[in-house]
Chain A
Amino acid sequence: MSENGSGDSRFGPVAVGLATIVIVFAILEAMLRAGWINRFIVPLPSAVVASFGRVIAEENVLHRTLFTGAEALAAGVFVAIVGGALGVLLTRSRLLRLATEGWVAALAAAPLVLIYPLFLVLFGRNALTIIMIGFAAGLPPMILKTVEGLSGTRRVLIDVGRSFGLSSAQEFWKIRFPAALPTIFVGLRLGIMFALINIVGVEFLINFGGLGQLVNELAERYDLPAMYAAIVFVVLVSVAFFLATERIERWLATR
């Protein structure tokens, strides 16, 4: 957050935002204690905070986070390899690109996660299904951004390469690929984000795997404070992931 100067004007709104959240939760706590809201529906915010430790200690959160992370990583690797290769293919073949780019864009907007029952039939109720859904969800943005990056290389860079008599492979690895890297990374980041969202969602839906299953299990046990804590935890994990990839992307873009 340490961007250029003017600390006070930045600090004010952030403080107001945080203070509002604290006040809202304090009011909620008061209303719950006064009995205006049913405690069996909404747990006390203080109980949620208190059950954080319990969730982390007893529910194997670290292991679950790693499990979900590994699924996202596997999906991400598939997305990078397959999406990258298809992106290169579409850049190379103009005909293929004209024929299929619209379809890929349509696929990016399609509610792919809804066909998870189909994946269950194909792969069974296991981690592979979850990885494959993440892969399917993350593939379109990777393809589209790879094509965008590779075909958007500045003409002058390619001309310089030609004047040095680079071969086609050399031109790709020395010029087109490095020039496209920031855009390709945007695609990879979007792809992994979509994969992660779908992976946690499907874990929750089919009650299998890491963080998504944790929420489902606690809900089925009717352990409300722990369930809320787990949801907050999942949100924090995805925010941390989002922030980290955003930083890398900014670093790549300004390099």
Chain B
Amino acid sequence: MAGHALTAAPTGRSLASPVARVRTALIVVALLAWEALAASGLVVHDVVPSLGKIASALWSLVIGGVTGAVVGLVLGGNRFLSRAFEPYLHYLGPTPKIIFFPIMIMWFGVGGGSKIAMGALSCFFPVALSTAVGMRQIEPVLVRVGKSFRATTAQMVAKIYLPAIRPAMLTGLRLGLGVAVIGVLLAETKLSNRGLGYLVIQRYTTFDMPGMYALLIVVFLLAIVANALLTRWSGDSVR
């Protein structure tokens, strides 16, 4: 297995950019086709949801992921701050985030904002914690090399820290995406007027079982595809 991977790697790498381009193009085409299908009205309304309806999860991933990564970098890079604040993250991490939803509604309204905030809050913790752990596992020699070249803080972050912690951060992002999707969709089932979660709970209230099952399958397929993509991505980077 290992030998195969070793021999396959160089050819894979030399082909990487055209392959990546074809893949990106295929994904874009697929997404456009999806949007067209949803807009066309050929399939039962809302069973193929418009892309706008699943965008909340991506926004939460971006917001929660970026803030989580920044906090993780700071806490992982500074022992004192890590001792002062990381226990709180560590213990808040496994609390059920959905109970913060009433606060999010107060702050961001009943529309899309509170759902994105809910997802971002869920996403923040795994990303921050695994980034901090990743920072602490950087080999000291890499940091020393950077310092001996008199790299500025920005250069250290861009050239040393970020590349070194990429695997840990991607793991965090993968976990973060999972909980962000859950956060957004659960929030949508609670109080919303749009989104996949809302559609599911609406089918439930009207006892439209086939519709509910169909939507649940769509939800699961989306989660599986997103997870598979990120696993693949993080797997590639580890190699």
Contacts and interface: CB of A to CB of B under 8 A. Distances in A.
Interface of A: 10, 12-14, 16-17, 20-21, 41-42, 106, 109-111, 113-118, 120-121, 193, 196-198, 200-201, 204-205, 212, 215-216, 219, 224, 227-228, 231, 234-235, 238-239, 242-243
A17 B80 CA distance: 10
B212 A216 contact: no
A22 to B, nearest CB: 13
A117 B84 contact: no
Contacts of B227: 109
Contacts of A41: 106-107
Interface stretch (B11-19, B132-140, B183-191): B183-191
B233 interface: no
Given A204-B98, A204-B101, 6 more contacts: A17-B84, A110-B220, A114-B197, A118-B216, A204-B96, A234-B99
Contacts of A227: 102-103
A116 B203 CA distance: 13
Given A114-B182, A121-B204, A205 B98 contact: yes
Contacts of B149: none
Interface string B91-114: 110111011111101110000000
A21 B91 CA distance: 15
Interface of B: 80-85, 87-88, 91-92, 94-96, 98-103, 105-107, 178, 181-182, 185-186, 189-190, 197, 200-201, 203-204, 209, 212-213, 216, 219-220, 223-224, 227
User: Looking at chain B's contact residues, is the secondary structure mostly helix, strand, loop, or mixed?
Assistant: helix
Contacts of A109: 178, 227
B80 A238 contact: no
Nearest to B213: A118
Given A13-B83, A121-B209, A228 B103 contact: yes
Contact of A13 (B80, B102, B105, B178): B80
A111 B212 CA distance: 16
Contacts of B178: 109, 111
B186 A205 contact: yes
